[in-house]
Amino acid sequence: MNNETVSVELGERSYDIVVGENLIQNSGHIIAPLLRQPRVVIISDSNVAPHYNEVLADSLESEGIKHESLVLPAGESTKSFKYFVELVDGILALGIERGTCLVALGGGVIGDLVGYAAASVLRGIDFVQIPTSLLAQVDSSVGGKTGINTVHGKNLVGAFHQPRLVLCDVGVLDTLPERELKAGYAEVVKYGLIGDEQFFNWLEYNGSKVCKGDKVSRQRAVVQSCKAKAKIVSEDEQEAGRRALLNFGHTFGHALEAEAGFSDILLHGEAVSIGMVMALTLSTKLGHCKSNTQDTARNHLRHVGLPVSTADRPAVNWDTEALLNHMAKDKKVTDGMMTFVLARGIGQAFLSRDVEREALIEVLESGGEL
């Protein structure tokens, strides 16, 4: 299978996303021409490093690129001020220069944290993303949003800082736990639902293969997703408009995650899966789309093993009032108004600030069921 390249067009800050197999083994060769000096710092987490650090280091070595490595604990709590300080101090202690490049080798946690460190140290240095989770390959590594969580909420401190390159090696998904893989798959489905009915139809036939490890289908799913995200990011880098479509299912999803205490009960992608069904239920109730749209999306998500209703997570109480409170606190609230991403059908998402509270309450009370 050949590598494929998707470009993110952002003028001087444009960059490529390379998707393929065995990319980590060849990464030194691909990265070398982009470096301002032949020196990188690899930052990874404790789950990913044992699998891929050595292969990456060998590849850099073979190109004569000096490399040092820092390993952080795995998990969302690493995306915090505490580890940000630890990471930045660690990087500075190595005596890096402005031409040194950071390499984020890991899932979205490492990508967001390292990206923010790259935006901050020495007032901004280059970084390369080597995303290792499906979620990071199709979503978080592309588009330049970086940041950390605070006690006031997720992703509240950060910066837009685009990477120089993204390397999506689909082979590394073999070691990703199945539940994480499926959670990432929810974001793949999202691209079909927001703007590409044909892709959604392809996923209906091939989604199980993507989840089960077929490399050709995985590559196709990652390429299509990156193309969709790259297009939206090129049109609206700082989320003044269209980029908000990428939040489809996320206003609901974030509220569900918050109510589950950002715990293992509900992973981000799982919350997005339920959230997308809720968004379609709401769209149906408001008369924007036919009920079979919700049904079609829901069936596919369920078929691959994703939760589609709060009833799929009975361990949480799912109090409607509490969920509404979480939604009101969402970053995307402007002038006290919530923006919702609704749909007119599969692949036809649109933004709306005009949502009746009653309809919203009905959706939350039903857990997403029509």
Which positions touch ligand NAD (CB under 6 A)? 45, 47-48, 51, 74-76, 79, 106-110, 112, 132-133, 135-136, 139-140, 143, 145, 154-155, 172, 175-176, 180, 268
Q: Among this protein's residues, is 98 annotated catalytic?
A: no
Q: Cβ closer to ligand NAD: 139 or 237?
A: 139
| Closest approach of ligand NAD to the CB of residue 66, in Å | 25
Which entry of 190, 220, 227, 243 is annotated as an active-site residue?
243
Distance CA 280, CA 42 (A): 41
Q: Give the nearer residue to ligand NAD in terms of CB position, either 112 or 237.
A: 112
Burial of 316 (0-12, 13-18, 19+ CB in 10 A): middle
Task: Give whichever of 239 and 362 is closer to ligand NAD, judged by the CB atom.
Answer: 239
193, 297 Cβ separation under 8 angstroms: yes
Task: Let me know if 12 is a catalytic residue.
Answer: no
Least distance in Å: CB of 33 to ligand NAD? 26
247 is catalytic: yes
CB of 316 to ligand NAD, least distance (A): 20
Q: Tell me the closest approach of the beta carbon of residue 249 to ligand NAD, in angstroms.
A: 12
| Min CB(52)–ligand NAD separation in Å | 7
Distance CA 276, CA 273 (A): 5
Q: Catalytic: 187?
A: yes
Q: Which of 21, 180, 187, 259 is catalytic?
A: 187
Of 145, 43, 135, nearest to 88 by C-alpha is 43
CB atoms < 10 A from the CB of 212, how many?
Answer: 12
C-beta of 135: minimal distance to ligand NAD in Å?
4
Which of 264, 321 has the CB closer to ligand NAD?
264
Known catalytic residue at 123: yes
How long, in residues, is the chain? Answer: 370
For residue 310, which of 255, 360, 355, 356 has the smallest C-alpha distance? 255
Residue 332 annotated as catalytic: no
The question of whether 356 is a catalytic residue gets the answer no
Task: Report the greatest alpha carbon distance in the chain.
Answer: 63
Residue 39 or 51 having the CB closest to ligand NAD:
51
Which residue in 67, 218, 268, 285 is the catalytic one? Answer: 268
Which is nearer to ligand NAD, 170 or 360 (by Cβ)?
170
Nearer to ligand NAD (CB atom), residue 73 or residue 99: 73
Q: How far is the CB of 127 from ligand NAD (least distance, A)?
A: 13
Catalytic member of 67, 79, 145, 300? 145
Question: Distance between CA 88 and CA 124 in Å, rounded?
Answer: 12
- For residue 285, the minimal CB distance to ligand NAD (Å) is 27
99 in Cβ contact with 38 (< 8 Å): no
| Nearer CB in complex with ligand NAD: 38/153 | 153
Our answer to whether residue 29 is catalytic in this structure is no
Q: Which of 123, 317, 357, 358 is catalytic?
A: 123
Give the catalytic positions in this structure: 123, 145, 187, 229, 239, 243, 247, 250, 254, 268
